[in-house]
Amino acid sequence: MSSARAERLVNLVLCLLSTRQFLTAERIRATVPGYADATSDEAFFRMFERDKTELRELGVPLETGRTSAFDTVEGYRIARGDYELGEIDLDAEEAAAVALAGSLWDSPELSGAAHGALRKLRAAGVEVDETRGSVQPRVRAAEPAFAPLLAAVQAGQAVTFDHRRGGPTGEIARRTVEPWGVVSWRGRWYLVGHDRDREDVRSFRLSRILEPVKTVGEPGEVTVPPGTDLMASIHRSVDQGPVVGVATVWVAEGHAHGLRRLGTVVGPRELGGRQGDVLEIELRSERTVARWLAGAGPDVVVLDPPGLAAHVRRLWEGALAAHAGERVR
């Protein structure tokens, strides 16, 4: 099913679910976004008949009838009592899946058409309750890159943007990507696609994509390879991998609480006249752990392994050189 048709069906369900009155086909045509594209009455009725059949096959209880004895044409509605599900008890993972499924309708880019249809109904004198059929809970997508990237995915069009690696002070690089999808994982949004510059499948955290996002080439040029698993791509690029060792570090008393949550306290120890604790931290990626430790400055000392200590010193030396260069300028 095309995205345009899917959106039209959802808007039709929201429209018919939000009123007790029976709406005629003509009123639905004037109200629900998507039907205005029909070039003739015959084209509209063919489209509407297909949509009614689709809804009934999906199990949506579509009713026909007349609001009063004075109506000359039958209309349509969805009885709320027949449509709503009974009480559902979801576990944490199931609730997260439902939240993600409903998240897109929380974005103004996709919800505007549906709310516009309800406003048209109200202006026409139709009783409307916008709280019916709402989806809760919601997951918000506040990143500015969300809307243009989602539009590029739907249009099958490549994009180019600046991407910052490794946090606020990371290196900025220009990327050209064939977008396959925008997905949420562990509370963050990611773009997954084919990176033309590196000739590989990559993922990009949306919060690290800088505006503006520009399209490249013509719509329809990008196609998602069959069998693509977007979430698996995220896991491969974001997960830190298996534990390869243990880092032993000293942490000053009252400092580096984030590291304390990540590690296990072995015991107290005084170092350089300061009280503190010795921690053991699982070592999955030396680069990642080195960044954590370097950010704590003099409140952390790496005891083992020596390679990790050297990595932290290199990060400190790089930061010192960068600040020294700023002072010279």
How many domains does the structure of the chain reveal?
A: 3
Q: Is residue 137 part of a domain?
A: no
Residue 53 CA, distance from chain mean position: 32
Same domain, 232 and 166: yes
Mean pLDDT of the 20-48 span: 87
pLDDT digits (tens, 9 = 90+) for 158-191: 999 999 876 666 688 899 999 999 888 766 789 9
Task: Say if CB 124 and CB 27 are below 8 A apart.
Answer: yes
Following DSSP, what letter does each residue of 39-66 receive, concatenated? SSHHHHHHHHHHHHHHHHHTT--EEEE-
Looking at residue 327, what is its pLDDT?
47
pLDDT above 90 for 275: yes
Shared domain for 169 and 233, answered yes or no, is yes
Give the pLDDT confidence score for residue 112 in this predicted structure: 55
pLDDT at 185: 76
Residue 328: pLDDT above 70?
no
Does a structural domain hold residue 256?
Answer: yes
Q: Are residues 231 and 285 in the same domain?
A: no
Mark which of 200, 215, 237 sits at the end of a domain. 237
Domain boundary among 207, 237, 267: 237
One domain, residues 265 and 307: yes
Taking the alpha carbons at both ends of the chain, their separation in whole angstroms is 59
Task: Note whether residue 317 is domain-resident.
Answer: yes
Most confident option among 96-100, 149-153, 176-180: 176-180
How far is C-alpha 44 from the geometric centre of its chain's CA atoms? 34
Predicted pLDDT at 94: 61
Whole-model pTM over 0.75: no
| Model confidence pLDDT, tens digit, residues 185-197 | 766 789 999 999 8
pLDDT, tens digit, 9 for 90 and up, residues 227-257: 888 888 887 766 656 778 899 999 999 888 8
- Residue 291 covered by a domain: yes
Residue 121 reports pLDDT greater than 60: no
Classify residue 103: in a domain, yes or no: no
Model pLDDT, residue 247: 92
Of 208, 237, 266, the residue at which a domain comes to its end is 237
What residue numbers bound the domain in which 42 lies? 3-89+117-123
- Percent of the chain having pLDDT more than 90? 23
| Cα Rg of the chain, angstroms | 28
CATH of the domain at 76: 1.10.10
Question: What SS3 class is residue 136?
Answer: coil
